[in-house]
Structure 1
Amino acid sequence: MRAEVSCSGPRLAIAPMMDWTDRHCRFFHRQLTRRALLYTEMVVADAVIHGDRDRLIGFDAAEHPVALQLGGSEPGKLAEAALIGADFGYDEINLNVGCPSDRVQSGTFGACLMKVPELVGECVAAMKGRVSVPITVKCRIGVDDQDPEEALDRLAEHVFAAGADALWVHARKAWLEGLSPRENRDIPPLDYDRVYRLKEKYLKEFIGVNGGIQSLDEAVAHMERADGAMVGRAAYHTPAILAAVDGRIYGEAEEPVDLASVVEAMAAHAARHIATGGRLAHVTRHMVGLFHGLPGARRYRQILSTDATKADAGPEVLLKAFAAVDCSAPAEAA
């Protein structure tokens, strides 16, 4: 059943990350938080239209609320792909206007679209015309030599005029020339104040902050100046921080997450995946950082990086790794 995605009130999201936020990662993160909004990896509109849809955009109902992130620059194709995603049951469709990778540059989408805000508006309008679920945009504050004051304002003007339901802003410029995508993770510096100024200009629109957020403390601080916070690598490498999301961000009763139950749920998930021809490592590669800071975490990681990668590995390997961890010790603070 599709979940209701609200673009009002605070929101914590886990960023779309290429090669990381696949269906197994999302299922895992959902065991830790019921409320955080999850995102797929970016999927190109052409692939959604012409490719193996079950493989590319299939997901487990347990993942709700979950958003499909699309890549592309042709309004008609994006609208068709958005409709397919909505029919699959996604709670939101997001347009990527921020990825600086060589792949998106060759296809003239992703961060390249920062240079053509009018086209981004056309893409948003086309998708809004085909689906009833929220249409959102994830962007940068600018690209290459653009002035972030002008570039971000122009993009926001066009996407909100087209009816976008939210704008997530990665508070760092994208550099398409002179820096590799890896280098662009840390260079140039983050400029959160630029996002805050945009929010002051668009008080009635949802604007969220992304980029370099390392903890829930930082996420909460950002929500004092913006509508939401999107956590990326920190959520992936130290996923236990997600266990406090429902209480701290959404005000739900604080109930400690039972890590044993999480591992059991993932073992069952892995068994289902293996039964369809998959491998245990497809699931466990996302779980390596779960017990960061706890006694036995090193041994847990060793087992997952060796035994779980074997072709015949089964869910019992995950249970063996978990048995090496002392969960009675205090967890690392979020």
Structure 2
Amino acid sequence: MLDWTDRHDRYFLRLISKHAFLYTEMVTTGALIHGDSDRYLRFNNEEHPVALQLGGSDVADMTACAKMAEDFGYDEVNINVGCPSDRVQRGAFGACLMAQPELIAECVDAMQQAVSIPITVKNRIGIDEQDEEVSLRNFVKVVADSGCKTFIIHARKAWLKGLSPKQNRDVPPLNYSLVYEIKREYPDLEIIINGGITTIEECQEHLKFVDGAMVGREAYHNPYHMIDVDAALYNDPHPIATRQQILQQFIEYTEAHLSEGVPLKHMSRHILGLFQGQVGAKAFRRHISEQAHKKGAGIEVLIEAGSFINHSE
């Protein structure tokens, strides 16, 4: 599973893996109900399987947005109970809802009655001064009793007071063993682990104890690092594309969307990490960063950037 993506990035990640489940960036119910829902919900057919991650806590709004997601063709709706940002807290959703498992259970129940696609939950192991052993077990029990079958568990607490969202990704200690225990206690649930996972080897180790592993920012910053995931985890030994082949496919995708009026910078930012660790990668990133935002910028920017690879920085 790959997290933190918009539709252009999801298309790019699909060039890396044919099988991994892709998740949208969190979209709030307010943005869908009161904003341009088509803008937030559009995706490419190549992205399947793809899940919409929702931020919200009003049962009626969550249900309405689940219906939108199903109508748009999403394969899953995921409720965000993990984001610790101040903005999210002010909206009364995200990680602060770890303190209200009954409300999440009510949302799950209503959403499942309204749609036929799965409703899943992505949560932390606790927040602030909660005893994580107690809080996680209580949260999973209450929400599972409502019919939720899949939990994506970020194996850290979220500190809503005193730590920034960035710090909340690194500072609270990971407690993988607690997530493993939840799987042992609930063998019929699908338990997917998240937090600090950066390699396929780490995924394979976690899969000895849980049903799935989610990779977040590493898949964004160093995507080619995951190129063997289909063979390693999905038993699909299809030919592996080179970085240059992936770049060419993305150039073709970009050209098609430029003709629809999508600015180059909205697409090109997602491939900055494609050549991570390769000679010329710095020049590749710099050229795109300096040129893609300019008026009229087109695929020539990506072609020129690609020419820096295998040249001295």
2:139 aligns with 155
Q: Distance in 1 between matches of 2:121 and 2:309?
A: 40
Please give the alpha-carbon distance, in whole angstroms, between the structure 2 residues aligned to 1:296 and 1:286: 17
Per the alignment, residue 14 of structure 1 pairs with 2
SS in 2 for 1:93: strand
C-alpha distance in 1, partners of 2:242/2:34? 41
1:300, distance to aligned residue in structure 2 (A): 1.2
User: Match for 1:294: what amino acid?
Assistant: Q
In structure 2, the gaps of 5 or more residues are: none
For structure 1, the residue ranges without an aligned partner over 5 or more in a row are 1-12, 328-334
Match of 2:301, SS state, is helix
Check conservation: 1:29, 1:242, Cα contact below 8 A. Answer: no
Kindly indicate whether residue 90 of structure 2 is the aligned counterpart of residue 106 of structure 1.
yes
Match of 2:261 in 1: 277
What are the Cα deviations for residues 257-297 of structure 1, in whole angstroms up to 9, with x where unaligned? 23333212211222232223222111111111111122222
Q: What's the counterpart of residue 79 of structure 2? A: 95
Amino acid at match of 1:235: A
* Residue in structure 2 matched with residue 237 of structure 1 by the alignment: 221
In structure 2, give the amino acid aligned to 1:126. A
Task: Report the equivalent of 1:43.
Answer: 27
Partner of 2:299: 315
Structure 2 residue 163 is matched with structure 1 residue 175: no
Letter in 2 for 1:14: L
In the alignment, structure 1 residue 129 sits paired with structure 2 residue 116: no
Q: Does the 8 Å CA contact 2:243/2:275 hold for their aligned counterparts?
A: no
Which whole-Å CA distance do the structure 2 matches of 1:311 and 1:92 have between them?
A: 37
Distance apart, 1:77 and its partner CA: 1.1
What do the CA deviations read for 1:149-185 (whole angstroms, capped 9, x no partner)?
1111111112211111310000000111111111111
Give the SS at the match of 2:123: strand
State the SS of the aligned residue for 2:254.
helix
Match for 2:93: what amino acid? F
Does the 8 Å contact 2:82/2:123 carry over to 1? yes
Structure with more relative contact order (C-alpha pairs < 8 Å, separation 6 or more): 1
Percentage of pairs with the same residue: 48
1:45 aligned partner, one-letter code: T
Q: Which residue of 1 aligns with 2:9?
A: 25
Amino acid at match of 2:219: A
Secondary structure of 2:23 counterpart: strand
CA contact (8 A) 1:139 1:170 kept: yes
Contact 1:267–1:316 at 8 Å: present in 2 too? no
Over residues 299-332 of structure 1, what are the superposed CA-to-partner deviations in whole Å (9 max), with x where a residue is unaligned? 21121121223222101211121122249xxxxx
Q: More displaced, 98-107 or 269-278?
A: 269-278
Aligned letter for 1:61?
Answer: N
Contact map agreement 1:271 1:315 (CA 8 A) in 2: yes
CA–CA separation in structure 1 for the residues paired with 2:294 and 2:269: 12
Q: What CA distance in whole angstroms lies between the structure 1 residues aligned with 2:92 and 2:54?
A: 13
| Residues in 2 aligned to 1:71 and 1:97: alpha-carbon distance in whole angstroms | 8
Separation in 1 of the partners of 2:204 and 2:68?
A: 34
Match of 2:183 in 1: 199
Distance of 1:40 and 1:173 partners within structure 2? 22
Q: Structure 1: which amino acid aligns with 2:2?
A: I
Give yes or no for contact 1:86–1:133 (8 Å, CA) kept in 2.
yes
> Which residue in 2 is equivalent to 1:261?
245
2: distance between equivalents of 1:39 and 1:198? Answer: 23
Deviates more, 1:167-176 or 1:289-298: 289-298
Amino acid at match of 1:94: N
Which amino acid in 2 is paired with 1:286?
H
Find the counterpart in structure 2 of residue 7 from structure 1: none
How big is the shift at 1:254?
A: 4.7
State the partner residue of 1:81: 65
For 1:177 and 1:75, the matched residues in 2 are separated by 26
CA contact (8 A) 2:224 2:243 kept: no
1:6 alignment counterpart: none
- How far apart, CA to CA, are the structure 2 residues paired with 1:133 and 1:241? 31
Out of 317-326 and 183-192, give the one that drifted further.
Answer: 317-326
Instruction: State how many pairs are aligned.
Output: 311
Q: What SS does structure 1 have at the residue aligned with 2:110?
A: helix
User: Is the Cα contact below 8 Å between 1:303 and 1:317 reproduced in 2?
Assistant: yes
CA RMSD for the aligned pairs?
Answer: 1.3
Structure 2 residue aligned with 1:67:
51
1:331 corresponding residue in structure 2: none
Q: Tell me how far apart the structure 1 counterparts of residues 50 and 103 of structure 2 sit (CA, whole Å).
A: 26
Q: CA deviation at 1:131?
A: 0.7
Q: Which is further off, 268-277 or 278-287?
A: 268-277
C-alpha offsets along residues 63-119 of structure 1, whole Å, 9 cap, x if unaligned? 111000001111111111001101100000000001001111001111011001111
